[in-house]
Structure 1
Amino acid sequence: MASSFAVCGLHLRGRGSLVKCLQKVETSLHRSIGTNVVAAQTEATRKDEGDEKEKDGHKSLYALQAERQEQAERSVLISCHSRTNEKKFLKYLSRHGEIKKHFFYESYGTYAVVEFANQESVASLLEGAAIPSISHECTVPFKSRLLSLSNLGSGDSPNQKSGLQCQPQTTVPINELIQRLSREESIDQQITFLTEAYQLTEENSRLRFLVCSLLKDIAAAYFPECIIKPFGSSVNGFGKLGCDLDMFLDLDGISGRNVKMPKSGLSLEYQMKRANSERSVTQSILSVIGECVDQFGPGCVGVQKILNARCPLVRFAHQPSGFQCDLTANNRVAMKSTELLYLYGELDPRVRCLVFTVRCWARAHGVTSSIPGAWITNFSLTVMVLFFLQRRSPPIIPTLDQLRDLAGPADKSVIEGNDCTFVSDLSKIQLSSNTETLERLLCEFFEFYATFTFSRRSINIRKGKEQNKPEVAPLHIQNPFETSLNVSKNVNATQLDRFVALCQESAWLLQQSETNTPKGHREGNTPTPWGLATILLPLHVAGVKISKKRRREPASDRIKGLLESLKNKNQQKVS
């Protein structure tokens, strides 16, 4: 981002300023609807056409984002009654144009996401919408694509049950998950089921991009060509239902940045205010956008402007979607991390399955937490899984340095002096010949970290091998791009010791499942937990007690013996 910017109306004072600001937002909304999605097109053309579709039908992250953003621009979010007649609802909306897709879900009430075939239909729908019949003085005349449905359900019986099929937006409770896992026939099937039950659905992904698009309509009042797009778990393939929505306000695509100035003669430049630093620019932009979201954003509550953090952000809850949202404006390294994790997940299906399983296990035992503290974060845990997969023989995924060596000129990326270059075309990456089962990988993941020398060694997915710790910290995981940073610096010795002990006991429990076949899952009775289900239970329920003595041991002889027997057994199966 350049160290200059233009902001109109930084201070909202008086009713006149309020009306002017709302008019700006409304103008930007209609501009967005009446034209093609310039921002999405800009993002989509950043890569060559050959990079848009990867081999075996895999899409690049750029192609996925462009598709989702374009869908979001043609969509509206409607609050409706739980007894709404779906046929009447669709018939009414179809008057404005063809409906391409729709679905219902429950948050703070019942909502519908409706995607039209073209943007003209959205403009027609908004043109026919009415301002609520409330006192003019207490209504903020802000127009957006978040609407409320009235009267259509009035002819239905008050006692009529909802006939709407609502798409789930959260994961199943852990107790229900354990029961379902216990009915599966193998640990591999358990891991696959857990992944399918926890990963973001098609509908939830569309909703996340729609929320970003709704927020973009507000930001576009000041920056008409901006993009707001999700990053992190919402798009990297490792997000579970209910995860937070991290959003990035991207101003790099605004036209005029790369205009070639003539060597001589007349030329024009925009007059812009300047700030002391890029950080100051980011803080000012987020302050204004945060104020607009707080004052005018329908359904946006609990707005916090956390501008003095290492990465300034605006945090709020979006009640219509149920998402906890974080908006940043200068976090490009995080965008590259998102792309990298997405690429790893696309390379081999076992990557996502193992990450989902380990994350679920970690949350079940309090290794991770949604509350900031000394816990291991989901990102750190994901990097640990990737590192383990790089250490297999043969490796299941390549190192970041290997991906950098495969990169072409279009992949070149240097952000704030950090080399963030890696290949984006999956067809250039040779797939692994490793055929290990998910069961074996999960068991050996726990054994790998139960015996890892955290006291001396650092985890590094750029090199794919252990390195000496560059600093004194219980757990050191090198940031893949900002290599001087430790992404697990917050983790204390107590939490690390607990993680190691849980790895030891979970490895042992999985070994026990080799000799304990699932029982009772064919009958209607509650199945007996086994396999993956046992390591998701509290360890005292599973019949295991973590002793202080064994917590200090790198790994017990019992675990080593059982793991060795499993290796021999698997080798016999292969031969």
Structure 2
Amino acid sequence: MAARSVGLLARSPLCAQSRTPVRLAAVRLLSGAGPVAADIGREEQLPGGGETGSEDKTPKKRFSEVQEERREQAQRTVLIHCPHKFSEKKFLKYLSQHGPINNHFFYESLVGDQLDTLLKELQLTEENVRLRYLTCSLIEDVAAAYFPDCTVRPFGSSVNTFGKLGCDLDMFLDLDEIGKRSTPKTVGNFLLEFQVKNVPSERIATQKILSVIGECLDHFGPGCVGVQKILNARCPLVRFSHQASGFQCDLTTNNRIALKSSELLYLYGALDSRVRALVFSVRCWARAHSLTSSIPGAWITNFSLTMMVIFFLQRRSPPILPTLESLKALASAEDKCVIEGNNCTFVRDLNKIQPSRNTEPLELLLKEFFEYFGNFAFNKNSINIRQGREQNKPDSSPLHIQNPFETSLNISRNVSQSQLQKFVDLARESAWLLQQDGEGGPAPAPRQPWGLAALLLPSVRDSRSLSKKQNRRPASERIKSLLESIKEHSPDSPTATDGKRTMSTHT
């Protein structure tokens, strides 16, 4: 049974104003029979969990502004476990005796696979996003015992608006801002500083820092279980499960380019409502046909698929998305960013970017996406969102997608020729199926799947391997079985019973 939780958004008076690192972590995570999360403070709606396609006329917020507001919100939040069948009204009345509760939410631990084909079902909910920032804030409390004034920031799918329910929580331990934000403590004529002792390389320093934090989480981190220190990876990390929130977490440090990439995707997703809808549809299609996998291998990754969608939308006439170079041209002095010698500069104020004049409907874009890449010259051309145009491949990799910031890297170097060919074949077949639904195509028979539903069925080649008994089943039943299979066997999150989620406010 999934455990229930409630979110109370506020720090005082439910928790102390002082930021004593380890003790505060215990105060803000109160153990009981089942979870409750709550925020006591502003009832401001933040990006990341809203309805898709809704037009918001208010000025759009920068990525950094959303990050800071989410962190502040998390620091004013407590996560409380409560019995599963406990009265919500009575529980809130009891908590109100200790101080005002301006906002709260009850939720079920999202430990089950809640994959679905619709964007509204796939995207992270507002409650789930809040819970991710709260989890980072709790880990930050633990890390602050060794590195005062450090920050732990979520990055990747948790913040770039392309994450789905059940995705891992990627966290970045940021130590670079310590010297800029904290006031040095002086004792007489002496200056007190916190620094890492001399080590042979920055990589070794990173490994030592993560090793210490990993030990602390393993022995003292509230709700942190299954801690693994994976320090010899290309990007060293600490992996663990956070029981109270139900998230599988990866903690890294010295990974600022990944955070910048998250900001870039956030910007692209906010520029046009069609972007996220198209990305989620393509990802769902790829997952249904086993083009992607959570297991490392020769498969195409979700990040690569997202880059392909962005590139495709840059190639429309008129373009739906601007190139990275044009975003760089709009940047001001405050936007300048160079990380490890890589120019990561682009405009961060979304209101400075002119909206696209392209009005093509989403169903047309989906068909055109499959047609475009079904006939793309992968043998000689690479995908580059900086320039937004096809370029000659610099190497012999079957699929070459340039990293937007570390331009010498190919983010799809792992993809094999056979997997790329499978992608091309399925793209052509999907374009043909969507074409049948367009003008001039035959009308679908009663109960016959069409549109995206038809794309989730086994391909023509795969259908030949099905038994005759399976093929005699109604198409609607085959689609239902396929979706249930995706839900039950998706490796993105552990199998569990899904629970209802409710949202209410109290002022």
Q: TM-score range by the shorter chain?
A: 0.7 to 0.9
Answer yes or no: is the 8 Å Cα contact 2:384–2:401 preserved in 1. Answer: yes
Q: Distance in 2 between matches of 1:347 and 1:544?
A: 42
**Equivalences for residues 8-157 of structure 1 within 5 A:** 25-26=22-23, 56-107=58-109
Q: Distance in 2 between matches of 1:233 and 1:24?
A: 27
**Equivalences for residues 96-495 of structure 1 within 5 A:** 96-107=98-109, 172=114, 174=116, 177=117, 194-255=118-179, 268=191, 270=193, 272=195, 273-495=197-419
- Cα deviation for residue 280 of structure 1 reads 1.5
Residue 269 to residue 215, structure 1, CA distance change in 2 (3 Å): closer
Letter in 1 for 2:450: W
The total of aligned residue pairs comes to 414
Q: Distance in 2 between matches of 1:462 and 1:380?
A: 15
- Cα deviation for residue 544 of structure 1 reads 8.1
Letter in 1 for 2:422: R
Letter in 1 for 2:317: S
Deviation per CA, 1:369-425: give whole Å up to 9, x if none: 111111111111100000000111111111001100110000000000000000011
- Cα deviation for residue 355 of structure 1 reads 0.6
TM-score, normalising length: structure 1 = 0.68
Greater RCO (Cα-Cα under 8 Å, separation 6 or more)? 2
Deviation per CA, 1:297-329: give whole Å up to 9, x if none: 232222111111111111112222221111111
Residue 84 to residue 541, structure 1, CA distance change in 2 (3 Å): farther
Q: Distance in 1 between matches of 2:269 and 2:128?
A: 19
Answer yes or no: is the 8 Å Cα contact 1:458–1:469 preserved in 2. Answer: yes
Letter in 2 for 1:335: L
**Equivalences for residues 475-554 of structure 1 within 5 A:** 475-514=399-438, 515=441, 527-540=447-460
Q: Distance in 2 between matches of 1:298 and 1:333?
A: 29
Q: Distance in 2 between matches of 1:540 and 1:392?
A: 29
Residue 250 to residue 439, structure 1, CA distance change in 2 (3 Å): same
Answer yes or no: is the 8 Å Cα contact 1:236–1:338 preserved in 2. Answer: yes
Partner SS for 1:369: coil
Answer yes or no: is the 8 Å Cα contact 2:224–2:242 preserved in 1. Answer: yes
Q: Distance in 1 between matches of 2:435 and 2:91?
A: 54
Greater share of helix residues, 1 or 2?
A: 1
Q: Distance in 1 between matches of 2:242 and 2:190?
A: 44
Partner SS for 1:354: helix
Q: Distance in 1 between matches of 2:462 and 2:283?
A: 19
Answer yes or no: is the 8 Å Cα contact 1:535–1:542 preserved in 2. Answer: no
Q: Distance in 2 between matches of 1:170 and 1:516?
A: 40
Name the residue aligned to 1:44. Answer: none
Q: Distance in 1 between matches of 2:246 and 2:82?
A: 15
Answer yes or no: is the 8 Å Cα contact 1:307–1:314 preserved in 2. Answer: yes
Deviation per CA, 1:308-361: give whole Å up to 9, x if none: 111111111222222111111111111110010100111111111111111111
Q: Distance in 1 between matches of 2:251 and 2:24?
A: 23
- Cα deviation for residue 256 of structure 1 reads 5.4
Q: Distance in 1 between matches of 2:407 and 2:423?
A: 24
Alignment gaps of 5+ in structure 1: 1-22, 32-53, 108-167, 178-193, 261-265, 521-526, 547-575
Name the residue aligned to 2:50. Answer: none
Answer yes or no: is the 8 Å Cα contact 2:25–2:138 preserved in 1. Answer: no
Letter in 2 for 1:436: E
Answer yes or no: is the 8 Å Cα contact 2:107–2:127 preserved in 1. Answer: no
- Give the number of the structure whose alpha-carbon radius of gyration is greater: 1
TM-score, normalising length: structure 2 = 0.77
Residue 220 to residue 28, structure 1, CA distance change in 2 (3 Å): farther
**RMSD (Å) for aligned C-alpha atoms:** 2.6
- Cα deviation for residue 64 of structure 1 reads 1.2
Letter in 1 for 2:174: D
Letter in 2 for 1:58: K
Q: Distance in 2 between matches of 1:428 and 1:313?
A: 37
Answer yes or no: is the 8 Å Cα contact 1:171–1:197 preserved in 2. Answer: no
Residue 506 to residue 256, structure 1, CA distance change in 2 (3 Å): closer
Answer yes or no: is the 8 Å Cα contact 1:412–1:422 preserved in 2. Answer: yes
- Cα deviation for residue 511 of structure 1 reads 1.4
Letter in 1 for 2:351: S
- Cα deviation for residue 28 of structure 1 reads 8.0
Deviation per CA, 1:469-523: give whole Å up to 9, x if none: 1111110000000000000011111111111111011111111223455676xxx
- Cα deviation for residue 106 of structure 1 reads 2.6
- Cα deviation for residue 442 of structure 1 reads 0.3
Residue 350 to residue 81, structure 1, CA distance change in 2 (3 Å): same
Q: Distance in 2 between matches of 1:323 and 1:545?
A: 38
Q: Distance in 1 between matches of 2:95 and 2:263?
A: 37
Partner SS for 2:165: coil
Residue 309 to residue 98, structure 1, CA distance change in 2 (3 Å): same
- Cα deviation for residue 259 of structure 1 reads 8.5
Answer yes or no: is the 8 Å Cα contact 1:518–1:528 preserved in 2. Answer: yes
Alignment gaps of 5+ in structure 2: 1-19, 29-55, 467-507
Letter in 2 for 1:270: E
- Cα deviation for residue 464 of structure 1 reads 0.5
Q: Distance in 2 between matches of 1:388 and 1:487?
A: 17
Percent sequence identity is 65
Partner SS for 1:387: helix
Residue 362 to residue 278, structure 1, CA distance change in 2 (3 Å): same
- The answer to which of 355-364 and 293-302 deviates more is 293-302
Name the residue aligned to 1:114. Answer: none
- Cα deviation for residue 363 of structure 1 reads 1.0
- Cα deviation for residue 169 of structure 1 reads 6.8
Partner SS for 1:465: coil
Partner SS for 2:421: helix
Answer yes or no: is the 8 Å Cα contact 2:225–2:242 preserved in 1. Answer: yes
Residue 419 to residue 356, structure 1, CA distance change in 2 (3 Å): same
Deviation per CA, 1:97-120: give whole Å up to 9, x if none: 11122222333xxxxxxxxxxxxx
